[in-house]
Every structure is written in structure tokens, then in C-alpha cells.
């Protein structure tokens, strides 16, 4: 059943993507008398491990194709050690502030980069715990392999493929891996690699924006390797354009699938999982500035054998068009 869902998502498009240069995926081609642009890749694999990667949370703006900006996002979880039927649940909060940018480097090629700062906290049997620090940087490149020409009639299509790398700038604390949630880190300590695709289909003001990406994770110097991760999302959007501003409401679904973690080449039990979420958001722009917000709620999840549960995710961002 999951394979069929993934195939449908690939065919019908994905959201949260890479912004596109003006000569490439400019929404002026989608909307008559509009200069709204799309950023089509919505991926952010800056946290790590099974339940807190934020892989479908976002790395995109619907109103700026080339931009620099700042974004804050929060992920709320609860965890249980699973030792007893009445074991207590503890709250966990993952907070991230990111500086992100997207620029064209050649015709049909765009480069995106982000640098996060994490400040996480959680409850435990011994009291409250806090960690903070610079996270892992991510650089991604996307190439437009197909798009409908400007003078095409009613239906617009665009397809991009790309690859990226995650640079281990964040600190990895091996002691945290003994906890219920192995994602309680500010970095993986490993060089990780990303394969990505995105697809847009659009008619008049209505469009569907979709993405798939796969993160290949390597072993760090502590002999720990987080499981590879598959992210997918698809978002329906609609442009409302006024003389003073542009507004793009959005609704969609997103999901993440995590493989097992490994330590000393041995599988770490209870670290695989998956989550499927609904999402709702908007972006509003005026002149060169845009503000966006979105929220995600789990529809179905199975993280770390049910010992970690996602409550919600939300984010806000402020961008300046270059």
C-alpha cells in the first residue's frame, strides 16, 4: 500500500521545494500578470535520526525564487521508555532557527543553502535537559530537466532533479544515543548525501507542487550511523493577487520514512519508523518581502516502536527577494 502511495505522489507532484530562477520556474509563467515565483523543494534534513529530522517540514518559499531569509520552526514530541505499561511520557521540544538562501548559478541550475542553530529541551526522570548549538549545514543543487514553454496554453508542467550534501558542523553527543529518542542531537556527526526530485503542475491560479527526496547517511567518528531517510510531500496551492500584496494559501500532506540506525555495524533495535502528516499554511508577499507560516499534524505514525510520538510541527519565515 505504501509503495502505491509513493508512486502516486511522484506522478502527481511534490511540495516544499527548491526555488527556481527567473528564467526557469518563474510563476509569471503560471499566472497571467503575476510575478509570483515558486520554491519547489521543501526539504530540511538538519536535525537527525528517526523522529526529528523535519525532512518534510520545509526549505522553500512560494513567493521568492531567489532570496535570503530566516526561519524558525518547532517540533513537539513525547517519549516513553516502554519498560512498563504505565511508564510516564516526557515532553520534548526541538527548536531551530535557520538562515537560508537560494540563488541561480546557471541557466536551469539553482543552488540552495541553509545553516541552522538548534536549541532543544526535554523532560526526563532526572529533570529537564537542554542542548544547543550550530547544526549541520546543507547545500543542494537542482537542475530543471523539463518545463512547459511560456506560450503553452492551459497547463504548466515542470520537473527538476538534483543532489546535495549535508556538512557535519553540528556537535554529535554519543551519550544521547542511550535515550529513547536518538534524535536528541544538534548534528549527526556525519557527511550525508541527498537525492531529490520535484514536480509542479499548474492551471491558472491553482497548482500542485510535489517532492521526493532520499537522504543517504554515513557513519560518524563515534561509529554511529543514522538510518537513511525518505521524505515526500505534495501541496495544493492557490494564488490570490491584489494590487498591494499577493497571498498563497496551501494545503497538503507530507511523510517521512526512516531506516534503522547502526552502531558499530550492528542494527540498533527500535530506531526505524515512519510518519504521515497533514499540512496547512500560507505565504503573503509585498514588494521584496514575504512572510510565511505552516503547521503540520500527524495522521498516522510509528516512531521508535511507538515509544516516540509526534504532537505537531509549525514554522514561520521571513524572506527578502534578491
Residue 294: which of 3, 60, 28 has the closest Cα?
Answer: 60
Neighbours of 303 (CB within 10 A): 26
Give the span between the Cα atoms of 94 and 185, in whole angstroms: 9
pLDDT at residue 151, rounded to an integer: 58
pLDDT (0 to 100) of residue 192: 97
DSSP 3-state assignment of 50?
coil
Which 8-state DSSP code applies to residue 87? P
CA distance 188 to 224: 9
Please, which pLDDT band fits residue 27 given cuts at 50, 70 and 90? very low
Q: Flag whether the pTM goes above 0.85.
A: no
Residue 177's pLDDT is: 61
Tell me the mean pLDDT in the region 275-303.
95
Q: Which of 45, 85, 186 is nearest to 129 (CA)?
A: 186
Question: Would you place residue 127 in the very low, low, confident or very high pLDDT band (cuts 50, 70, 90)?
Answer: confident
For the cut 70, the answer to whether the pLDDT of residue 279 exceeds it is yes
Would you state the pLDDT for residue 174?
Answer: 79
Q: Higher confidence at residue 291 or residue 27?
A: 291
Q: What is residue 150's predicted lDDT score, i.e. its pLDDT?
A: 63
**Which residues are within 8 A (CB) of 317 and not within 5 positions of it... i.e. 6 or more apart?**
58, 61, 69, 70, 71, 72, 291, 292, 293
Amino acid at each position: 500500500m505504501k509503495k502505491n502511495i509513493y508512486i502516486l505522489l511522484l506522478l502527481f507532484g511534490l511540495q516544499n521545494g527548491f526555488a527556481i530562477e527567473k528564467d526557469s520556474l518563474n510563476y509569471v509563467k503560471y499566472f497571467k500578470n503575476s510575478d509570483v515565483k515558486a520554491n519547489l523543494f521543501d526539504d530540511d534534513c538538519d536535525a537527525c535520526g528517526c523522529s526529528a529530522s523535519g525532512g518534510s517540514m520545509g526549505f522553500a518559499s512560494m513567493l521568492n525564487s531567489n532570496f535570503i531569509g530566516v526561519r524558525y520552526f518547532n517540533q513537539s514530541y513525547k517519549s516513553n521508555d516502554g519498560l512498563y505499561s504505565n511508564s510516564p511520557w516526557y515532553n520534548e521540544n526541538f527548536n531551530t532557527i535557520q538562515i537560508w538562501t537560494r540563488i541561480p548559478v546557471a541557466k536551469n541550475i539553482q543552488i540552495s543553502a541553509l545553516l541552522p542553530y538548534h536549541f532543544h529541551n526535554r523532560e526526563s526522570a532526572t529533570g529537564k535537559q537542554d542542548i544547543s548549538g550550530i547544526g549541520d549545514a546543507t547545500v543542494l543543487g537542482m537542475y530543471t530537466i523539463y518545463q512547459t514553454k511560456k506560450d503553452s496554453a492551459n497547463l504548466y508542467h515542470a520537473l527538476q532533479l538534483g543532489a546535495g550534501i549535508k556538512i557535519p558542523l553540528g556537535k554529535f553527543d554519543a551519550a544521547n544515543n542511550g535515550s529513547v529518542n536518538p534524535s536528541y542531537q544538534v548534528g549527526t556527526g556525519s557527511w550525508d548525501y541527498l537525492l531529490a526530485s520535484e514536480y509542479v503542475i499548474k492551471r491558472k491560479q491553482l497548482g500542485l507542487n510535489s517532492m521526493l527526496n532520499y537522504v543517504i547517511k554515513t557513519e560518524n567518528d563515534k561509529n554511529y550511523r543514522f538510518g537513511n531517510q525518505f521524505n515526500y510531500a505534495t501541496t495544493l496551492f492557490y494564488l490570490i493577487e491584489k494590487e498591494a500584496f499577493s497571498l498563497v494559501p496551501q494545503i497538503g500532506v507530507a511523510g517521512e520514512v526512516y531506516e534503522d540506525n547502526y552502531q558499530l555495524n550492528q542494527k540498533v533495535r527500535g530506531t526505524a519508523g515512519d510518519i504521515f502528516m497533514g499540512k496547512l499554511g500560507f505565504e503573503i508577499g509585498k514588494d521584496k518581502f514575504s512572510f510565511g507560516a505552516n503547521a503540520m499534524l500527524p495522521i498516522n505514525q510509528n516512531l521508535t516502536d511507538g515509544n516516540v510520538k509526534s504532537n505537531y510541527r509549525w514554522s514561520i519565515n521571513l524572506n527578502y527577494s534578491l
